[in-house]
Structure 1
């Protein structure tokens, strides 16, 4: 009689931090971790940032020391837990999480190489993110994707999981969260069974986006997708410097669009244009806050949704699964530079 195979060992990390409850920015990780253990009987460990670290991509803060603590979540949403500097014995039904003062990629790396023995995990799941990570503009900025890519570059299979808030940044109904947790378990289990391919079909990370919409309850659907190509505009907004007096913001406020300099103030040399800092910044210290305008990404026009992409899928109520590689896509070089073989003629 063949020996029973051991349980899947899974590391969960994220970029939203420890459980926050439905009104905060990290309401999904606790119910999802419980679902993996309940529905799939997987062996789950959790290592997450001690606070929210969204929009940091796959970054490491190499000049900073990383400290951590142990967290023992309790309560219905995991927020009634105990934080300790040193671990303690784990009670029946308890989980021991690790909170690190670092980026999502840092959490992924330290968990794989420092906290647990080598080759401890069969899979790293980063997420579920509080919001979608569809299309290049979101994915290339995402700490959720960053942690999964970091795991892949460390030789561990990875899934980046995001739950899309399709009706604004407000707590979704509990039935949506329950359905998303169950479906995410089913999708990830099938991916684990199918594998990550080899050769030209090798996959480093699966990016899974689940739209929190009625469709995931009434008619759940999963689609293979590609990543939509998108871009964003303004990400930061000029704000008053803490040391700035109100006198510096009299002319329309710090976010006002300054009028261009008069032509007489421009450099007059032929082909020489004097690019000046907008006039408002001559009157105040430079100070900016992250305040992105993402309206076109979050609420795209129907004609901008290309069929077959992750963006199109979730806006039609379907779960998107995008296979990606931990590499920059190569582009063809322009034809206007004289060459000798592959060498430039300088």
Structure 2
């Protein structure tokens, strides 16, 4: 009598937009503990292919004009940031993981992993994340490299999950117990979504966008909600600087990980200046005086305080944004597409013809 066949392990490709592990004070503190938790909790065979450096907020951009090069990385130390890099793979030690770091965008990493590094159909699932910061609502999601990598994977026919861990007010940086709890509950959500599937036809899901708030509720009583994606807008994303060597604002993660740059008085002043500029612009469309005496230099310094800390009365129940700000995990099914919308009411349309 032959021995029973052992069930094959779940094969997971893990990528992100925050890059290799950095430790708790850096730009990518979550991927190493989550990768280890995936392997242990789900008994999964995990392969990690990530950007060689942080590539947040690049959406689904690909490298097309540059060569994409990479190295093999073997994480070590408590945080995984004391590892070795090698141009060619070496034999792994017991319990050691082999990662690949590519000098490319998150979407580039996903595509190369699925089509170049490994044999076709090697993976059962692609997970992008956990992102260092939330990706709730359209303003964050449409810019997110985490969502971009997951969408790139879905467009290659893979089942994909975009996972983001929200840094919430009052808990920055999050304590280790929050990170440990987020790792465990994220693995539970991944397992249930994989069992549930991605549907088919008109009901097919391309990507599940999962947002986990790093709040006490994750430790004591995590709640998961099905949500839609809240529709939001940006404020100012860049500021001018007369110094060409000025670095962009320290962005230790995705846009939602950036501290709010303005106090209330500064915000009010900025709003008043914007209103004055609108009034003047209606009479004379010209650049501001400040740009007429200095060279044009701008750095990324987003004013996203309204996105990160919204008023509770402005949140719409049933959306991902409402869920994360009330301490719940959001699971949002999305399509990898610019979805069409109906023409505005009142436009004269006869069949497919627009009468202008």
TM-score (norm 2): 0.87
Residue equivalent to 1:269: none
Cα distance in 1 between the residues matched to 2:303 and 2:284: 28
Partner SS, residue 97 of structure 2: coil
CA contact 2:171–2:215 (8 Å) conserved in 1: no
TM-superposed CA distance for 1:61, in Å, is 2.8
Residue equivalent to 2:97: 95
Structure 2 vs 1, CA of residues 311 and 337 (structure 1 numbering), >3 Å: closer, same or farther?
closer
Equivalent position to 1:207, from 202, 206, 209? 209
CA deviations 1:73-92 (Å, max 9, x no partner) are 00111011001111111111
Residue equivalent to 1:37: 39
Residue equivalent to 1:296: 306
Write out aligned runs for 1:146-157 (5 A).
146-157=148-159
TM-superposed CA distance for 1:280, in Å, is 0.8
Cα distance in 2 between the residues matched to 1:31 and 1:172: 14
Residue equivalent to 2:180: 178
1:114 equivalent to 2:124? Answer no
Could you tell which deviates more after superposition, 44-53 or 57-66? Answer: 57-66
Cα distance in 2 between the residues matched to 1:6 and 1:180: 26
CA deviations 1:128-184 (Å, max 9, x no partner) are 000000011100110000000000000000000000000268321000000000000
TM-score (norm 1): 0.90
Residue equivalent to 2:14: 12
CA deviations 1:182-224 (Å, max 9, x no partner) are 0000000000011111122211000000100000111111111
Give structure 1 regions of 4+ aligned residues with deviation exceeding 2 angstroms. 1-5, 167-171, 241-244, 255-263, 334-341, 343-346
1:309 equivalent to 2:309? Answer no
TM-superposed CA distance for 1:2, in Å, is 6.2
Equivalent position to 1:143, from 142, 145, 148? 145
Write out aligned runs for 1:52-71 (5 A).
52-71=54-73
Cα distance in 1 between the residues matched to 2:343 and 2:289: 39
Structure 2 vs 1, CA of residues 209 and 261 (structure 1 numbering), >3 Å: closer, same or farther?
closer
CA contact 1:261–1:279 (8 Å) conserved in 2: no
Cα distance in 2 between the residues matched to 1:129 and 1:3: 37
Unaligned runs of 5+ in 2: 247-268
Cα distance in 1 between the residues matched to 2:36 and 2:319: 30
CA deviations 1:90-118 (Å, max 9, x no partner) are 11111110000110000000000000000
Partner SS, residue 17 of structure 2: coil
Residue equivalent to 1:331: 341
Partner SS, residue 7 of structure 1: coil
Structure 2 vs 1, CA of residues 58 and 261 (structure 1 numbering), >3 Å: closer, same or farther?
closer
TM-superposed CA distance for 1:262, in Å, is 12
Cα distance in 2 between the residues matched to 1:228 and 1:341: 32
Q: How many residues align?
A: 329
CA contact 2:171–2:214 (8 Å) conserved in 1: no
Could you tell which deviates more after superposition, 171-180 or 235-244? Answer: 235-244
Partner SS, residue 51 of structure 1: coil
RMSD: 2.3
Cα distance in 1 between the residues matched to 2:127 and 2:161: 5
